Amino acid sequence: MGLEFYTSKLADAVNWARKYSLFQYPFVTACCGMEFMALWGPKYDVARFGAEFPRFSPRQADLLIIVGTITERQGPILRRIYEQMCEPKWTIAFGVCASTGGFYQNYSTMPGADQCIPIDVYIPGCPPRPEQVLDGLIMLQDKIQNGQGFVQRREKREHDAGKNKLKVLP
């Protein structure tokens, strides 16, 4: 037991704090937004999971929720918003449109938001029930705790490859 013991315990604590203080940025483009509002109301109350606080600037957010259809024309906007967020950051695709393009198989719709940004959790449904979204959120919390988020894994890879030696990592 040396330094590794302390750093891995510290990483656990940091990840525990991260998973219960998700500041989310809702990128709402279509009808799924209605279900999203229900989720944020008192009935389903996402605040229980520490993710109640929408930030209307991506620079202050660490969870990007893509709610609704992404068109090809919107791709560059979504990409820029993702790049403006500070790391570590996570993403959720809310609904089939954001996950795969849904039933829009045409010239204008991007077949899933993962064509232009990495996605951590996909929530199916058109629109998904709020329970499903809460389930997805809990899955994301598990991922964060285990260091399995996309950005977390990349940081780990870079760390193992000898970059970012000063950072304390999971």
Partner 1 sequence: MSLAVLQRAKELLGDTIKSTHSYRGDDTLVVDAAAIVEVMRLLKDEVGMDFLVDLTCVDYLGREPRFEVVYHLRSMKTGERLRVKAPLDEPEDGSNPALDSVVPLWAGANWFEREVWDLYGIRFHNHPDLRRILMYEEFVGHPLRKDYPKERRQPLVRRDPNE
Q: What share of the chain is helix, strand, coil (3-state, %, to 5)?
A: 50, 15, 40
- What single-letter DSSP state applies at residue 88? S
Q: Is 117 in the site for partner 1 (CB under 8 A)?
A: yes
Q: Helices 32-40 and 130-145, interaxial angle, to 10°?
A: 70
CB of 118 to ligand SF4, least distance (A): 20
- Which H helix or E strand runs over 155? helix 150-160
Backbone φ and ψ for 6, nearest 5 degrees, come out as -65, -40
Among 88, 95, 149, 170, binds ligand SF4 (CB under 6 A): 95
CB of 12 to partner 1, least distance (A): 27
* Count of residues that bind ligand SF4 according to CB under 6 A: 11
Among 58, 102, 136, 149, binds ligand SF4 (CB under 6 A): 102
Q: Is 30 in the site for ligand SF4 (CB under 6 A)?
A: yes
Among 13, 21, 47, 72, binds partner 1 (CB under 8 A): 72
For residue 64, what are its two tokens? 């990007």
Which residues are at the interface with ligand SF4 (CB under 6 A)? 30-32, 68-69, 95-97, 102, 126-127
